[in-house]
Amino acid sequence: MTASGSLLLERFPFPHVLDNTMYELWKTCPHKFFRSTVQGLKAAQRDPNTGALLTVKNIHLHFGGALARGLEVTRKTYLAEGNQGDAIQDGAAALLAFWGSEPLPPPTTRNEENKTLEACLLAHDEYFRAFPLDDPQHHIPSPDHVEVSGTAPIPGVVHPFTGEPILYAGRFDAITSRFGVLRGLDDKTTSDNVDSDRWRSKWTLAGQFTGYTWLAQQYGFPIEGFLVHGVQILKASLKFGEAITPRTPFHVNTWLAQLCFDVQMMLRQYGAFIQSVEDDNGEWTDPPHPFAQRLGDACFHYMRKCSFLDDVCDTPRPADFIPNAFVVERWNPLARSIDE
């Protein structure tokens, strides 16, 4: 490989590990996957005092992360010590520590307005009234069944530089045993109505849970699907709901075959990209981009504008804008959360 070729691979490395977030990104818009995962770009704003480019915290992710941390510590403490009140107290302390002291950006939507630290503390407390720790319906066998994570090689695909298998990684909240039936458990904060069929049916074929089921089975946990616990955050109230979403061998085999096919497609796109820019200083200029731009609904997804819309896709020379609007910060699915 030439020196310029190897620099190119350093600037645009193909990930060694994929997870559901990256896979969903690719399905939504391959170009967004390329910009955020291969190129590693993360939207940033200039600090008016120092001039440094800083990434902006996402209120939804921060709220969800803090709540997840509180729930995790509560479950682990309860399973180790057996006292629900003390466990909830320890979980709340962990939630506060996760929330930290740095201010969040001002909310821009009503949903963001609802996601305050007070609402997070209440959600954490009331979660265990809706799903009590000592209720056999929500039994978690041991602390090892909380925050379950793992990786497995994706069959039939190898990394283009190393020749090693590309791994699929996943992490979910717990494994529960409801009267002997083992299922994964994932908590979801949402603004959707968690009492509705609409919310429950969202998970029927969700690849996220099929992928976790496959991973858990690789580790010897014979789970039969997932319980999804919905936490609906409203301005003046909270609602809790549960969806049960089974996974059969049919679901797992279909998902896995699709994953293998899609990762091979990603690798073809990656190969075509590297080839097309190798003699052009790493800058892509001639459309179409090998990682296709969806140019449609994906540009405005989850009620918000894609972070690559203005400075990347809506300009003929993205390279002129990227250094002033993004930092390079790659997501590593194997890294633990920031507080550990």
Partner 1 sequence: MTDLDLSNDLDRQIELQDLRTLVLSGKALPPERFRQLLNAIREGRDNAQRLASASKKSAKKTLAAKTPIDLSTLF
List residues near partner 1 by CB under 8 A.
89, 92-93, 96-97, 99-101, 117-118, 121-122, 125, 235-237
Q: How far is the CB of 117 from partner 1 (least distance, A)?
A: 7
If you search the block for the tokens 């190969």, which residue do you land on?
A: 271
Look up residue 287 and give its two tokens: 């459309």
Closer residue to partner 1 (CB): 97 or 256: 97
Q: How far is the CB of 240 from partner 1 (least distance, A)?
A: 15
Contact 71, 187 (CB under 8 A): yes
Cα 102 to Cα 89: distance, rounded to the nearest angstrom? 23
Q: How far is the CB of 100 from partner 1 (least distance, A)?
A: 7
Q: How far is the CB of 229 from partner 1 (least distance, A)?
A: 20
Q: Give the 3-state secondary structure of residue 320.
A: helix
Q: How far is the CB of 93 from partner 1 (least distance, A)?
A: 4
Rounded to 5°, the CA angle 77-70-210 comes to 95
Closer residue to partner 1 (CB): 69 or 171: 69
Closer residue to partner 1 (CB): 80 or 205: 80
For residue 236, CA distances in Å to 118, 121, 239 come to: 11, 14, 10
Q: How far is the CB of 200 from partner 1 (least distance, A)?
A: 25
Q: How far is the CB of 95 from partner 1 (least distance, A)?
A: 9
Cα 65 to Cα 339: distance, rounded to the nearest angstrom? 11
Closer residue to partner 1 (CB): 118 or 286: 118
Report the run of H or E that residue 7 belongs to, with start and end. Answer: helix 3-11
Closer residue to partner 1 (CB): 26 or 98: 98
Closer residue to partner 1 (CB): 129 or 317: 129
If you search the block for the tokens 């005092």, which residue do you land on?
A: 49
CA within 13 Å, CB half, 143: 10
- Residue 306, class by beta-carbon neighbours within 10 Å (0-12 exposed, 13-18 middle, 19+ buried)? buried
Instruction: Please name every residue paired with 123 in a beta bridge, in sequence order, or none if there are none.
Output: none
Cα 119 to Cα 127: distance, rounded to the nearest angstrom? 12
Cα 109 to Cα 247: distance, rounded to the nearest angstrom? 35
Closer residue to partner 1 (CB): 123 or 298: 123
